[in-house]
Amino acid sequence: MSQSSVIRLHANDDVLIATQQLIPGTQADASGVVVHDLIPPGHKIAAHDIAKGEAVRRYNQIIGFAKTDIAGGQHVHSHNLGMGEFERDYGIGQDAHALQHIDQTATFMGYVRANGKVGTRNYIGVIASVNCSATVTRAIANHFKQGRLSAYPNVDGVIALPHPLGCGMSMAGEGMDILRRTITGYARNPNFAGVLLVGLGCEQNQIEPLLDLLGEHEEGMVQQVSMQAEGGTAAAVGKGIEQVSQMLVRANACARQPAPVSKLIVGLNCGGSDGYSGITANPALGGAVDMLVAHGATAILSETPEIYGAEHLLTRRAASPEIARKLIDRITWWKDYTKRTGGEMDNNPSVGNKAGGLTTILEKSLGAVAKSGTSSLNGVYLYAEQIDRKGFVYMDTPGYDPVSATGQAAGGAQIIC
């Protein structure tokens, strides 16, 4: 078997990564390690004997602890590798550094808005304030399908944004704060030329407070309709279609033009991770992030349960102690949350992740943070908060792609990778 059949990522690593299926009895690499088990691609084998209780390293970082004695060449996975407590060296700010800024920045073809922000798309959004208006929201957006946008070649579409919330909840508190931040964040996203807010009328999440939070906006490009004020579903749909039609005329007047890459905010998420993600796609994306940051753009890493165990790599890149402390506080919140709800931080690697060779959340997280590149961590944000700093930043979100991407878009991201 060729030496390329396995990868040792660091001289201090206790495991080798299989680049192809490994057959028992064959030599894994030049060190003489002989494969004991059938090893699927992307999975790990012990580089040497590991005693029960010893830390196991990949990327020269701890990914777990041996649950049993493991002989060199054996398969290392969930049956013999588990979680354990250990001290992390947060090394706050020790690796922080600004990338060399590129003066002659690159450009992209975008939609420049009146407030100076730039979209990568040109949509009209129809946003429900409450679940009760979801049907009307969809009906308004659906009206503009089947060729009705042919007269508006610069418009990418009219899309509905329903959700299951907005009533049966307190008008104050964290839940409502997050919902309102998300809705107003979407309304501000430059990928929307305009938005229509659709309400029932009697819901807890009233439209007027949303407009207050939204603040100044381009005249005529934020509209509202209330089902009860219009006298019912059909009338509200008709009124909404009329309002969107008015916005379409102005949205179509906006054409793509060159804009600096510094106007981009890119959201980063994992999807279908396996044993190769941390050494292939994620670091490649991290390289792209470094290029964007050097051009003055912004990149958002998220999914807090999926950086658990690798947060010390981010605190070392923190531009200030306050930024590092904010990230640590978010990790602490998630640990407390899972404890009081009967969960655990290590439940994140999915069945598919494990089938692909990832064993613990520590291992998955180490690969996930590779998406963020190497530059300084310039900010830490709550879910759906507006991103107001350049460079690499972090947003606290769940480790679930659709929810995470929603928060990033509400924060201002025009692109999700």
Check pLDDT > 90 for residue 104: no
Q: What is the pLDDT of residue 3?
A: 53
Model pTM score: 0.94
Q: What is the pLDDT of residue 88?
A: 87
Band (34; pLDDT cuts 50, 70, 90): very high
User: Mean pLDDT throughout 229-257?
Assistant: 98
Provide the H-helix boundaries in 25-109.
none
Give the CATH class of 1-86.
mainly beta
Here the tokens at position 96 are 């922080």
Give tens-digit pLDDT for 293-305: 999 999 999 999 9
Q: What is the pLDDT of residue 259?
A: 98
User: Mean pLDDT throughout 134-155?
Assistant: 97
Q: What is the pLDDT of residue 40?
A: 96
Letter string b/e over residues 14-30, b meaning 16 or more CB atoms within 10 A of that residue's CB: bbbbbbeebeeeebbbe
Distance CA 298, CA 307 (A): 19
Distance CA 220, CA 209 (A): 18
CATH of the domain spanning 123-253: 3.40.50
Where in the chain are the domains?
A: 1-86, 123-253, 258-416
Percentage of the chain exceeding pLDDT 70: 99
Check pLDDT > 70 for residue 21: yes
User: Mean pLDDT throughout 174-194?
Assistant: 98
Give one word for 167, left, alpha or beta, with left for phi > 0 and alpha for psi -120 to 50: beta
Give tens-digit pLDDT for 50-67: 999 999 999 999 999 999
Q: What is the pLDDT of residue 224?
A: 98
Q: Are 16 and 28 in contact (CB under 8 A)?
A: yes
The reply to whether 123-253 shares the fold of 1-86 is no
Rg (CA), the chain: 25
Torsion angle of C-alpha atoms 277, 279, 285, 287, degrees rounded to 10: 170
Q: What is the pLDDT of residue 85?
A: 87
Here the tokens at position 255 are 């054409």
Give tens-digit pLDDT for 349-387: 889 999 999 999 999 999 999 999 999 999 999 999 999
Band (1; pLDDT cuts 50, 70, 90): very low
What does residue 191 show for φ and ψ, rounded to 5 degrees? -75, -10
Which region among 12-21, 72-81, 98-107 has the lowest average model confidence (pLDDT)? 98-107
Give burial (CB, 10 Å; 0-12/13-18/19+) of 141: buried
